[in-house]
Structure 1
Amino acid sequence: MVSARSYAGYPVLAPREVPEEWRPTKARYVNKGDRWVGSTISAGNRWELGFLTSQNLYLAVNQSDEPSRAFVAAVTRSATEDGKVTVDRYTWTKMISPDGRTRALVTRIGSSTAVIVADASYPLLTDFAGMLTMS
């Protein structure tokens, strides 16, 4: 997280705290042009922080300043809009994958797009959104 906040060029989201039974499983940051996963080259400065919840659900916040349409499609499994929800001072677009399995919340934070994604209900995602901070 320190690298992301130092180099991203946008306000990086991370939770202040999470429930004690959640386990962090992934934290990674790459600069634009660096390898993201496998042979995929990142189209922007990209950050991901993931947790396994007490129900063994993977939940992550992904953030990038790459073109948002392609980034959102990749992270959400080509989800479509499913309404809006406001958490704290941000309005998030609710999204659902074509098979109904994956849900996401998407918003703009500065020059970046932030995506919370999980194979879980919207209430879990909105609760997680409420845990996020930029400091």
Structure 2
Amino acid sequence: NIDLYEKVAALSDKLHHPVELHSYTNKVAEIMARSEILVTKPGALTCTEAMVMHLPMVLVNTLPGQERANALHMKNRGCAEWVKRGDLAETARRILRNPDVRSAMAAACGDVHPDSAKDVVDVLYSLL
């Protein structure tokens, strides 16, 4: 979203904290590793990447169908807050100001299996 990117870039000098802007990047894992929370739409791949990295999420702007199902699942696990746009700033502020909440959300990501794709291939290969 070039228009939004330009609006945020114009505001970045006036903000009270550093802001890093990216248009397209292939360094998502690196950026997530430096992050305290992730604010995102609940796409399956993004949520999975955040869970693997034990990164608490604030989910917003969900689309009907799979994204809403993802948001509900992540919220029920306790690793994400699912909010309406009007509640986004306050929710992010509350999580960022409370390390215990962030730790609990990170722990709620659980033991994910980063090699699960390989495991699936191994199972399928064994069936051949």
Q: Same fold (TM over 0.5)?
A: no
Instruction: Give TM-score, length-normalised by structure 2.
Output: 0.28
User: Of Structure 1 and Structure 2, which has the larger fraction of its residues in helix?
Assistant: 2
Instruction: Give TM-score, length-normalised by structure 1.
Output: 0.27
- Computing the radius of gyration from Cα coordinates, the structure with the larger value is 2
User: Of Structure 1 and Structure 2, which has the larger fraction of its residues in strand?
Assistant: 1
